[in-house]
Structure 1
Amino acid sequence: MKILITGSTGFLGSHLTKALVHEGHEVIILKRSFSDTWRIADILPKVTVFNVDQSPLEQLFTESGPIDVVIHSATKYDRNGENASQLLDSNVLFPLRLLETASAFKTKMFINTDSFIHKNLVGYRYLPGYALTKKQFLEWGKEFGTSEKIRFINVRLEHIYGSFDSETKFVPFILSSCLRNLPELQLTPGNQKRDFLHVNDAVTAYSLLIRQKITDVPWFKEYELGTGETVTVRHFVELLHQKTQSKTILKFGALPHRENEIMESKANNDDIKKLGWNSKISLEKGIELLLKDEK
């Protein structure tokens, strides 16, 4: 198939792009001209690159011919002081323009990457701008899908982890701290429960979704994606600490929980399982893969 993907230079997007190329698809990556491509440097010669800040989206669709599927994995978080208009532009206006253009050029399917963070958005104060804008774009996707303009699939990810993630995020931060044997690491009590999903398992789900017979795909459908099981954050950190043989002292309870913390989140993955998907990477195996790639 001919697949257009956003976010190829990021964590999940880079893994998706490599998998799609490996599977033999014709892949077009949509990025900014100044994006750092280090994560996908080895497969860049095998993809078509379109710099969205240099040419209009319509030009891409006109020049490339019919695009079968758009996979949208690009996003902006409010971790580094991004203001509301920046988040709105990156997480709502840009994907909406892409959705409109794909619909106008008769693309068959648009797969949106979503997060568990706004699943129960009741006063939770972590990344509030990110959560709000992701929720807003989902509403637009639902409108396009139910109006039968384009098939819109929303993939709601639980806590995804794996190689080449941003160092500012939770798992890479803990991993880096343990590997460097910091004297101590201050943490919350760690009794929040999360559904940790290895990125390789996530990639197989996307691969399955694009292989569906298009007439079997609903106009709008949401899939929760995770293992369907939870462990405490403390258990995850302790396992990572053990596997790295770190000397860092873990100080659980030194920090308070965030305001209105989500104390448990896990995927109801019944629907994705009906398509034939299953999580195959255990937590222990996932951490081992993470450490292997880190080396």
Structure 2
Amino acid sequence: MKILITGGSGFLGKHLIRHLLAEKYHVIALLRKNSDISRLPVKDQQLSLVFIEELDYDNFFKAEAPFSAMVHCATNYGRTATGLSEVLQDNLMWPTLLLEYGIKYSCGLFINTDTFFAKQQKAQSYLQAYVLSKYLFREILKAKSSIIPVVNCRLEHVYGPEDGAAKFTTYILRELLKNAETIELSDGWQKRDFVYIEDVARAYALILNYLPRFRGFSEYEIGTGESHSIREFVTTLKNMIPGNNTILDWGALPMRRNEIEDSFADISALLNLGWAPKFDLNKGIYHLLEHHKVHGI
């Protein structure tokens, strides 16, 4: 099967690409020219990289379509100085363009990557544009799902090796590994469903294996089904690093406005497909640290 993936150099994208190549899929990844492809298996003959800046969409889809599925992993969190228009362009207008081409050229399935942040109506202030763009695109997908089958994957707090440097778990790992004197944190009682990246990639791959069964709009929440406090995650990570003396200064930072107090996935739909998480919190953190020993952060 031929799969088109956006965000192939991102955290989820590169793990998913490696997983799909191992299952003998033909993968075409849409990337920006400035993407870091150092951890992609670029020598694999089943992987093709296409740069967005050079893309003639009509000629590309005429030459490569039909795709068995399009998997949209790319996202713009708007955490930097990104304006609303840029976030909407990346998270709404561009994937809508791809959706239109998928419909025109008979794509078998459109898989969208969504976020647990969209569970509540009031988004955290620094993610408002991101959550709004995700909501709007999800509504477009629902409207078009009578024409092209859609699976919306709502991810909980994904963590694991090779995540972005600005992400919370990467920051904590980096500070603990250098034995920083102090890490300032909020009170840490907010709870998240920490799901290891390999479990997430397996969930996407399983959905692709069931491709012919999908009709209309389907949604899968991807997590472990259990939540753990930020305190528990950070403390567990610290305790697994021998000789770490970092002081965790709980309560030094204020809670963000509209912070979600507790979030965890309803994984019943995935369980019905035959998926189950293989990594609990301790196992996931252990594998994260073992990966660091060999490959670094």
Contact 2:109–2:211, Cα closer than 8 Å, also in 1: no
SS at match of 2:245: coil
2:34 maps to which residue? 34
Contact 2:5–2:72, Cα closer than 8 Å, also in 1: yes
TM-superposed CA distance for 1:34, in Å, is 2.6
Contact 1:21–1:27, Cα closer than 8 Å, also in 2: yes
Deviates more, 1:28-37 or 1:261-270: 28-37
Residue 217 of structure 2 corresponds to residue 220 of structure 1: yes
Contact 2:18–2:41, Cα closer than 8 Å, also in 1: no
Aligned pair in 2 of structure 1 residues 98, 237: CA closer, same or farther (>3 Å)? same
Gaps of 5+ in 2: none
TM-superposed CA distance for 1:126, in Å, is 3.6
TM-score, length-normalised on structure 2?
0.95
Deviations 1:174-219 (A, max 9, x none): 00000011110000010001100000000111011011151x2131
Q: How far, CA to CA, are the matches of 1:62 and 1:53 in structure 2?
A: 18
Q: How far, CA to CA, are the matches of 1:105 and 1:46 in structure 2?
A: 21
The alignment-based identity, stated in percent, is: 39
Aligned pair in 2 of structure 1 residues 42, 93: CA closer, same or farther (>3 Å)? same
Alignment of structure 1 residues 115-264 onto 2, 5 Å:
115-145=115-145, 148-214=146-212, 216-245=213-242, 246-264=244-262
1:114 maps to which residue? 114
Q: How far, CA to CA, are the matches of 2:280 and 2:216 in structure 1?
A: 33
Total equivalences in the alignment? 292
Q: How far, CA to CA, are the matches of 2:46 and 2:288 in structure 1?
A: 26
For 1:240, the aligned partner's letter is L
SS at match of 2:136: helix
Q: How far, CA to CA, are the matches of 1:228 and 1:84 in structure 2?
A: 33
For 1:265, the aligned partner's letter is S
SS at match of 1:40: coil
Aligned pair in 2 of structure 1 residues 158, 41: CA closer, same or farther (>3 Å)? same
Deviates more, 1:62-71 or 1:89-98: 62-71
Aligned-residue Cα RMSD (Å) equals: 1.2
1:288 maps to which residue? 286
Q: How far, CA to CA, are the matches of 1:267 and 1:119 in structure 2?
A: 11
Contact 2:117–2:123, Cα closer than 8 Å, also in 1: no
Contact 2:108–2:211, Cα closer than 8 Å, also in 1: no
SS at match of 2:125: coil
Q: How far, CA to CA, are the matches of 2:43 and 2:136 in structure 1?
A: 33
Q: How far, CA to CA, are the matches of 1:139 and 1:177 in structure 2?
A: 39
Gaps of 5+ in 1: none
Q: How far, CA to CA, are the matches of 1:290 and 1:126 in structure 2?
A: 27
